[in-house]
């Protein structure tokens, strides 16, 4: 059995689900794109190809092996995108919470049944249908659960609005001993530089007390300021619009001092090293074209 344990984003990782780019399927048509960044690459003819993405994910798998992390991969579905395992479910404490995701992506959760079958059934939670939530919006941080959301009346108009207020209430009920703190995110179906698809597209805690932040990803300035005060200005690496677009906040922590990052994140990686982190660089710029990076393609199951 798997004894799940996730209380934050950075404790030493022991087990993880890493998505797969194998049999990723053809380039989608413009009408089938879920986010503005993928759409832009489809239109430009620069949408990533399978063999390049497989190499990128293999590089991450090799880092996990180096650090003795147990890695589970989804069962391959023919011609289907299974890269972003973070979207389909997430773990908080010892509970495995199935995300209510876009109906088209139902198959993805079935492809990790070999993992789910190792989890005690009373620890598996399926939220009510009206709760929309994806793992990219959910960040356990010790006594807090940080959640990205969008609660505008035009929620239905945004394919990029993924987590609603019903899900926030449900999480608060599930974890009454924690503080669920929500953040309104800026959404755009058409402009990737004005769209925070998930909370991890504009924010991520790292180490013990630091964070990466992008101010414009937040709709409400006070909520952004709350994070600045919480971590302290001197502990924050603020990324600009271009860096957000390239997914600089979507790195992944193996421990409080080891981070997997994209090799082109020159400014960020230099800052991380200056602040005492070990940075394991990988190529991930092709996968980034789908508006997801390292955090999006991993689902942590056990941390110390």
Is the pLDDT at 43 greater than 90? The verdict is no
What is the C-alpha to C-alpha distance for residues 202 and 239, in angstroms, rounded to an integer? Answer: 8
Domain ranges of the chain: 13-201+292-303
Question: Are the beta carbons of 151 and 164 closer than 8 angstroms?
Answer: yes
Q: What are the backbone angles phi and psi of residue 264, rounded to the nearest 5°?
A: -85, -5
pLDDT at 40: 81
Mean pLDDT, residues 60-79 taken together: 97
| Burial degree of 97 (CB within 10 A; 0-12, 13-18, 19+) | buried
> pLDDT above 70 covers what percent of the chain?
95
pTM: predicted TM-score of the whole model, two decimal places: 0.93
Q: What is the DSSP letter of 10?
A: S
Q: Which two tokens stand for residue 119?
A: 């989890």
Question: Are the beta carbons of 294 and 252 closer than 8 angstroms?
Answer: yes
pLDDT digit string, tens, across residues 197-208:
899 999 999 999
**CATH 3.40.50.970 for the 13-201+292-303 domain, yes or no:** no
* Chain mean pLDDT for the chain: 92
pLDDT at 160: 60
Mean pLDDT, residues 11-39 taken together: 85
Residue carrying structure tokens 């020159």: 266
pLDDT digit string, tens, across residues 222-240:
999 999 999 999 999 999 9
pLDDT at 179: 98
* Number of neighbouring beta carbons within 10 Å of residue 233: 8
Question: Mapping DSSP to helix (H, G, I), strand (E, B) and coil, where does residue 87 land?
Answer: helix
pLDDT digit string, tens, across residues 132-171:
899 999 999 999 999 999 887 776 666 666 789 999 999 9
pLDDT at 101: 66
Question: Are the beta carbons of 67 and 1 closer than 8 angstroms?
Answer: no
């Amino acid at each position: 059995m798997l004894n799940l344990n996730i209380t934050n984003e950075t404790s030493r990782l022991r087990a993880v689900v890493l998505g797969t780019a194998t049999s990723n399927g053809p380039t989608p048509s413009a009408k089938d794109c879920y986010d503005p960044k993928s759409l832009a690459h489809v239109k430009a003819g620069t949408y990533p190809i399978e063999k390049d993405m497989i190499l990128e994910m293999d590089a991450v798998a090799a880092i996990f092996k180096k650090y003795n992390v147990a890695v589970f991969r989804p069962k391959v579905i023919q011609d289907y995108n299974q890269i972003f395992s973070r979207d389909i479910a997430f773990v908080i404490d010892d509970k495995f919470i199935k995300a209510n995701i876009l109906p088209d992506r139902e198959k993805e959760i079935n492809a990790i049944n070999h993992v789910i079958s190792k989890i005690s059934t009373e620890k598996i939670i399926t939220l009510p249908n009206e709760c929309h939530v994806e793992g990219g919006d959910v960040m356990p941080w010790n006594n807090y659960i940080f959640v990205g959301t969008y609660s505008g009346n035009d929620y239905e108009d945004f394919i990029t609005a993924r987590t609603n207020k019903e899900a926030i209430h449900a999480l608060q009920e599930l974890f009454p001993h924690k503080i669920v703190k929500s953040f309104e995110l800026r959404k755009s179906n058409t402009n990737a530089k004005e769209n925070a698809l998930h909370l991890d597209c504009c924010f991520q805690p790292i180490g013990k007390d630091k964070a990466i932040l992008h101010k414009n990803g937040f709709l409400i300035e006070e909520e952004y300021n709350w994070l600045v005060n919480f971590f302290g200005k001197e502990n924050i690496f603020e990324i600009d619009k271009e860096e957000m677009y390239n997914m600089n906040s979507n790195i992944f922590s193996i421990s409080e001092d080891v981070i997997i990052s994209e090799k082109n994140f020159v400014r960020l990686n230099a800052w991380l090293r200056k602040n005492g982190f070990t940075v394991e660089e990988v190529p991930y710029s092709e996968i980034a074209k789908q508006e997801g990076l390292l955090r999006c393609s991993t689902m942590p199951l056990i941390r110390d």
